[in-house]
Chain A
Amino acid sequence: DAGITQSPRHKVTETGTPVTLRCHQTENHRYMYWYRQDPGHGLRLIHYSYGVKDTDKGEVSDGYSVSRSKTEDFLLTLESATSSQTSVYFCAIGGRANTGELFFGEGSRLTVL
């Protein structure tokens, strides 16, 4: 299994508070991704990174920011959480530079009250 861990795995927070989710990999993959999963929408790409300090937006990037200061860590930040950001968030690594497939973390369930 790809060495990829997400933290926290579960979080409950209140509207307006900042939240940071962490994705940590031990596989030295160049590409890292953040997705959110919602019923009826599947997985939607939020942001992705193609190297240290190199990031780009996905389909649903509004309200989210990311940072990647070192290869192994990719942080997703909700500056001011809203109820519409209640979701399950998945980090993934991999891509064309490797075998082509994505390897996923176990997901982080975020509830914004």
Chain B
Amino acid sequence: AQTVTQSQPEMSVQEAETVTLSCTYDTSESDYYLFWYKQPPSRQMILVIRQEAYKQQNATENRFSVNFQKAAKSFSLKISDSQLGDAAMYFCALEASGTYKYIFGTGTRLKVLA
């Protein structure tokens, strides 16, 4: 069975500062995808970043980057130069090859302080 754990229900960051959201996962598969999704107050789910397990290089998308530690089964999201618009719920998700099931964590609510 696949599991995703987000141990930080809520985080705060000062505008322009850097924050890291944690995610750990468990799967017995060697081929899998990991994702971070953002859900602003509008409720729309937006893909932030994606990481394929076979890629050793950490994915980056502008101010968003991940620290993918495969052996530790850890997948943290770093947001640099935080902006007010980054305030949202962030969900970590896992899809393991052959399952076609996307498993989500419980989410971390990020507050950005002006």
Q: A residues near B, CB below 8 A?
A: 31, 33, 35, 40-45, 48, 50, 58-59, 88, 90, 92, 95-96, 100-102, 104, 106-107
Stretch at the interface among B60-68, B70-78, B102-110: B102-110
Q: How far is the CA of A90 from the CA of B93 in the complex (A)?
A: 15
A45 and B102 in contact (CB under 8 A), knowing A96-B95, A100-B50? yes
Give 22 CB contacts A-B under 8 Å: A31-B100, A40-B106, A42-B91, A42-B106, A43-B93, A44-B104, A45-B103, A50-B100, A59-B103, A88-B43, A92-B45, A95-B95, A96-B33, A96-B97, A96-B100, A100-B33, A100-B52, A100-B95, A102-B45, A102-B93, A104-B44, A107-B44
Main secondary structure of the interface of A (DSSP, over half): strand
- A to B contact number (C-beta, < 8 Å): 53
- List B contacts of A43 (CB < 8 A): 91, 93, 104
Which chain B positions have C-beta within 8 A of A58? 101
Cα A102 to Cα B9 in complex, Å, equals 23
Say yes or no: A101 contacts B100, CB within 8 Å: no
> CB distance A106 to B43 under 8 Å?
yes
Say yes or no: B101 contacts A42, CB within 8 Å. Answer: no
- Select from chain B the residue with minimum beta-carbon distance to A35: B104
Report yes or no: B101 in contact with A101, Cβ–Cβ below 8 A: no
| CB proximity of B60 to chain A, nearest CB, Å | 16
- Give me the 3 closest cross-chain CB pairs, A-B, nearest first: A104-B45, A42-B106, A43-B104
> Do the beta carbons of B95 and A90 come within 8 Å of each other?
no
A48 and B45 contact, CB distance less than 8 A: no
Interface contacts beyond A42-B107, A104-B44: sample of 4 additional A-B pairs, CB < 8 Å, sorted by A: A45-B102, A95-B102, A106-B43, A106-B44
B47 touches A (CB below 8 Å): yes
Nearest chain B CB to A21 CB, angstrom units: 15
Given contacts A48-B100, A58-B101, contact A101 B107 (CB under 8 A): no
> Closest residue of chain A to B39, judged by CB?
A37
* CB of B25 within 8 Å of the partner chain: no
